Structure 1
Amino acid sequence: MRGDEPKSLQERYAPANSCWGCGPANSEGLRIRSFPKNGEVIAEWKPEPKYEAFPGVLNGGIIGTLLDCHCNWTAAYHLMNRAGSDHPPCTVTAEYAIKLLRPTPTDNAVSLSARIVDLTDDRATVEGTLSAGGKVCATCRGIFVAVKEGHPAFHRW
């Protein structure tokens, strides 16, 4: 992050988070940066060759991680807003399904977008997409749950 860039949800609310997919504190991780925009949460991420399944194509497991973390932050952000809180609850993935629709090229950044389709006090159903070159390459639908005291993830951010 440069000094003039806005902070992502991860940088603002969980700067010490070490998650491999979204943790700002994990120098070896993917370090996605998610931003609220017009009711959705968006991100851009630039693949490196080490994340390819084969030359020029992003690995499906990496795609799953990107969508899982991005959708989880979408859930946390919207649960925070629903509760009127100034900090998001720690959320975990209860379930998620990824559909790989076409090969995802690695020559340019991929775009992530996620939106809430159902929201209660402690859980959110989120749908997300990963696009490259203006084409949707993968979709995700997941349920993300705010954890309570005693859960191992409770104080992770």
Structure 2
Amino acid sequence: MDCHGNWAAAIALMDKGCLPRPPLTMTASMQVSFRAPTPPDTQLVMRSRVLGIKENSSGGPLKATVEVEVVVVHPEQGPAGEALERVLAVGTGVYKRLGALRSM
């Protein structure tokens, strides 16, 4: 979850700043709520959503922080064959931009 959120934050900063590559980011905090056990040997789905980007007090994007929500779900099939998802974990992370761009 941490890595997924970190990349979501980096891509959000890249998009916002019209950068050629995503910047380096670091996890400042991560809070996870586990809702159900993870079944073994099954594929899981992770989704992230940027909750907000906060610029530093000096007005520049160099030390911006990004808050991201990451959800882990297990795809399941309902009684009528419909697609369902069981939420296994929900996390919220805060990621800080370090300044440099990633080398890719």
Same-fold call, TM cutoff 0.5: yes
Question: Deviations along 1:9-52, whole A, 9 cap, x unmatched?
Answer: xxxxxxxxxxxxxxxxxxxxxxxxxxxxxxxxxxxxxxxxxxxx
Give 1:108 deviation, angstroms: 1.7
Structure 2, gaps ≥5 residues long: 55-60, 76-84
Greater RCO (CA < 8 Å, at least 6 residues apart): 2
Distance across 2 between alignment mates of 1:102 and 1:135? 8
Report if the CA contact (8 A) 2:8-2:50 is conserved.
yes
1:96 maps to 30
Paired-residue identity, %: 28
Give 1:123 deviation, angstroms: 1.3
Letter paired with 1:130: V
Give 1:86 deviation, angstroms: 1.1
Distance across 1 between alignment mates of 2:95 and 2:50? 11
Instruction: Give the TM-score taking structure 2 as reference length.
Output: 0.76
Letter paired with 2:72: L
Task: Provide closer, same or farther for how the CA distance between residues 90 and 73 of structure 1 changes in structure 2, counting only shifts above 3 A.
Answer: same
RMSD (Å) for aligned C-alpha atoms: 1.7
Structure 1, gaps ≥5 residues long: 1-66
1:109 aligned counterpart, secondary structure: coil
Give 1:107 deviation, angstroms: 3.1
From the CA coordinates, give the structure whose radius of gyration is larger: 2
- Is 2:61 the partner of 1:110? no
Runs of 4+ in 1 over 6 A off after TM superposition: none
- Is 2:12 the partner of 1:78? yes
Paired positions, count:
87
